[in-house]
Structure 1
Amino acid sequence: MKGKRILLGVTGSISAYKSALLIRLLVKAGAEVQVVMTESAKEFITPLTLATLSKRPALSTFVSDQNGSWNNHVDLGLWADVLVIAPASAHTLARCAHGLCDDLLSAVYLSAKCPVFFAPAMDLDMYRHPTTVENLQRLESFGNHIIHAEHGELASGLVGEGRLAEPETIVQTLYRHFAFRPALAGKPVLITAGPTQEPIDPVRYISNHSTGKMGYAIAQAFARAGADVTLVSGPTALPLPDPFVRRVNVRSASEMYEATAAAFPSAAVTILNAAVADYTPAHPADRKIKKQEATFALELTKTTDIAATLGLQKRTDQLMMGFALETNDELANALKKLRAKNLDWIVLNSLRDSGAGFGHDTNKITVIDKDEQTHEFALKSKDDVAEDLLDLVEAELNKQPAG
């Protein structure tokens, strides 16, 4: 989203107040926002509010009231990377659908060469009316995108479809638009993330310091690129990384194996980022263990090696990426994993690298591919690391024969 130029059309709807939050989210994401308002939109939110948030004058007329300068609708249409009309009233939908051009916003729409998104907002009977339905279909037939209204309580007091999609939803839609990669479109991608917890008794467990941040960043990147993402997640406090991610919550290593093995056969790409316990208590107690003896011995048994097991099942049309967090002999240990587990890539983290590993918002990785070529990356945010991994996978997918 950084540096993207977004024209935001605001029309006469009670939902216009949400445009302020939408602008705030877009600017925070690094986008440049230029507001174009209809005259009726000013009845619901002031141009000053939108201008302050966007850091640009909110335009509504062909000629500026302040200095008489010309607000060129053609230049505006050419400037934008995307035009978003949110909220889009029934009146504006009808004008755009039928090419009426009697104000600045409709002129900008007709001039725009960029993708256009309409986010309708109105009362439920207006939204369901055959005229509105036909106008939305007509706009979509022109190649425009519709961010459909949501179900909920409306300004009229009725409950139903018609309320403007939440600003966060609109922003996510734009993220996916800009991040879309044809090679990933519809590809089933399986990702594991987070720690596992191995029960000692009903109160205690064995675990590790994984927060899930890296795996969740990867899931978000692939979902925004257009992949069909299944995220098998150990316990973490992180929210769903993207509304289009299917999350399967697990706790123990055995649960993670079962969920991953079930999804693996249909996955085109599998990324095993979770920090899975290597050992689990052999005999978990069914009651809380009381503190009595001075020493306490715990018998552990090996868990299923998920990467090795899936590596034996991997087909030639499947890609698999594993992770190795090492504290010593990093490259040697990573290469050993790459070969033994039939991986296409191994992503190496070293706990000796400052800012890398568990808990950080940054990471520093070295990726070794199946040809044992090494790709080194600088320390960067985990979101940016996820994009680097996405680049590697996309390049490999592009080598595969079509179909």
Structure 2
Amino acid sequence: MLTGKHILLIIGGGIAAFKSLDLIRRMRERGAIVTPVLTKAGEEFVTPLSVSALAGSTVYRNLFDLNDEAEMGHIQLSRVSDLVVVAPATADLMGKMASGLANDLASTLLLATDTPVLIAPAMNVRMWQHAATQRNLATLKNDGVGVVGPNDGDMACGEFGPGRMAEPLEIVAAIQTHFSAGPLSGQRILVTSGPTHEPIDPVRYIANRSSGAQGTAIARALSALGAEVVFVTGPADVPPPAGVDIVHVKTAQEMLGAVEATLPVHAAVFAAAVADWRVDCASDRKLKKSKGGLPQLAFVENPDILRHIAQSKKDRPKLVVGFAAETNDVLENATAKRLRKGCDWIVANDVSTGSGVMGGAENTVIVIDEHRTETWPKMTKVEVAKRLAERMAQALA
């Protein structure tokens, strides 16, 4: 199944483009989220309306579309998917990819992406067998691009031989193989995310600020690499990712219980912004204003979930990753936190006023482990998640 997988589908120009409509349907039947990109040549064979209707999504067509750039810049579009599929991949598109050209939306996305790419070539048999095409094919394979097809068969031009685009179900099978063969296949990973809400009374609570965006992105990135992800989330603003096991909680105590119920796991990422304190004996009725003054609230400490799991002698994950949201002395405070909690890695970020991290789309992090400190450049939270997931895959290999 492809549940929750984001597929960026680039439709090239060729008679085989009609198969892309069935390919979209087949991918969505299996739970994939399909974002289509239609080349100008592709529009000669299928209409934007038909592609959009089947994908249930906006069709991206132009490199310099101001509306699309405001909502989803072309660089971002190239990196938010789990897989880029080019079907049909014409000789022209293959040539552009192999040469690093970027003169339209499709070729620009392909050059800008750091996401795996799978192509389904389709062209005349002589074009396929031409030395230039074969050189381009060899270059693309050497670059790590996956290839499905082409098949032998009758061509629209009347010739017979290799060049027919693989059938939609063949392409779907190749996509499923790609995900099942990820570097984290067989790994069960826990991710916590979002804030916790600690009740004062039935209508009031205390909490840390957290949209849940970074934790959600991490869960998606780990799932894209083949991991079985259990996602324990507080009341976050960002919807949870598809394709993972989701456990909803509200309080820190509920989150601890959910985490313990998830064990054993191979790795755990504690990205949740857990409230450090809760109100002792929260009221079961709404507290009313009175002339006698402000209500007196007594606080007690919440369980330290990261420390509890990292220092556990039973079912401790092989890799425990914590987060440190700091407003000052980021490196010093995060380094001390890693030692104090007993986790393997700490991902530190500056959440001070003006950083834009809280509720924003970008993040700047420092990853600290026992041996080194890595300062990553400013990037989107999706890119941070992918880079962290790849680092985890290497550590768990």
TM-score with structure 1 length normalisation?
Answer: 0.64
The change in CA–CA distance for 1:384 and 1:345 in structure 2 (over 3 A counts) is: same
Greater RCO, CA 8 A, separation 6+: 2
1:196, 1:208 within 8 Å by CA — same for their partners in 2? yes
- What corresponds to 2:293 in structure 1? 294
- What corresponds to 2:351 in structure 1? 351
1:9, 1:84 within 8 Å by CA — same for their partners in 2? no
- What corresponds to 2:59 in structure 1? 24
**Cα separation, 2, equivalents of 1:117 and 1:212:** 40
**Cα separation, 2, equivalents of 1:119 and 1:388:** 31
- The answer to whether residue 9 in structure 2 is matched with residue 11 in structure 1 is no
Alignment of 1:143-292 (within 5 A): 145-146=172-173, 177=178, 182-241=182-241, 243-265=242-264, 267-292=265-290
1:180, 1:224 within 8 Å by CA — same for their partners in 2? no
2:253, 2:303 within 8 Å by CA — same for their partners in 1? yes
Name the aligned partner's letter for residue 230 of structure 2: T
Report deviation, 1:274. 0.2
Report deviation, 1:324. 0.8
SS in 2 for 1:235: coil
C-alpha offsets along residues 84-125 of structure 1, whole Å, 9 cap, x if unaligned?
89xxxxxxxxx96xx5434379979x448xxx87546xxxxx
Structure 1: runs of 5+ lacking an equivalent: 38-51, 64-69, 86-94, 121-138, 148-172, 399-403
Name the aligned partner's letter for residue 24 of structure 1: V
- What corresponds to 2:360 in structure 1? 360
Name the aligned partner's letter for residue 326 of structure 2: E
Report deviation, 1:356. 5.0
- The answer to whether residue 386 in structure 2 is matched with residue 390 in structure 1 is no
**Cα separation, 1, equivalents of 2:86 and 2:304:** 49
2:327, 2:351 within 8 Å by CA — same for their partners in 1? yes
**Cα separation, 2, equivalents of 1:347 and 1:230:** 20
1:9, 1:35 within 8 Å by CA — same for their partners in 2? yes
**Cα separation, 1, equivalents of 2:85 and 2:294:** 63
2:266, 2:319 within 8 Å by CA — same for their partners in 1? yes
**Cα separation, 2, equivalents of 1:264 and 1:356:** 34
Aligned length: 309
**Cα separation, 2, equivalents of 1:386 and 1:182:** 16
C-alpha offsets along residues 266-323 of structure 1, whole Å, 9 cap, x if unaligned?
x111000000011111111111111114322211111110011111226676100001
**Cα separation, 1, equivalents of 2:375 and 2:303:** 30
- What corresponds to 2:101 in structure 1? none
Report deviation, 1:36. 7.6
C-alpha offsets along residues 302-360 of structure 1, whole Å, 9 cap, x if unaligned?
11100111112266761000011112333332122211222110111122485453111
- What corresponds to 2:100 in structure 1? none
Structure 2: runs of 5+ lacking an equivalent: 1-5, 26-45, 63-73, 79-83, 91-103, 108-120
1:353, 1:364 within 8 Å by CA — same for their partners in 2? no
- The answer to whether residue 154 in structure 2 is matched with residue 101 in structure 1 is yes
C-alpha offsets along residues 124-167 of structure 1, whole Å, 9 cap, x if unaligned?
xxxxxxxxxxxxxxx5xxxx6439xxxxxxxxxxxxxxxxxxxx
2:214, 2:271 within 8 Å by CA — same for their partners in 1? yes
**Cα separation, 1, equivalents of 2:186 and 2:227:** 5
After superposing the two structures, state which structure 1 stretch, 322-331 or 342-351, moved more. Answer: 322-331
**Cα separation, 1, equivalents of 2:61 and 2:396:** 31
Report deviation, 1:251. 0.6
C-alpha offsets along residues 21-75 of structure 1, whole Å, 9 cap, x if unaligned?
65926986336956589xxxxxxxxxxxxxx9979xxx99859xxxxxx865874
TM-score with structure 2 length normalisation?
Answer: 0.65
1:183, 1:397 within 8 Å by CA — same for their partners in 2? no
2:270, 2:323 within 8 Å by CA — same for their partners in 1? yes
- The answer to whether residue 357 in structure 2 is matched with residue 374 in structure 1 is no
State the structure with more CA Rg: 1
2:222, 2:229 within 8 Å by CA — same for their partners in 1? yes
**RMSD of aligned residue pairs (Cα, Å):** 4.3
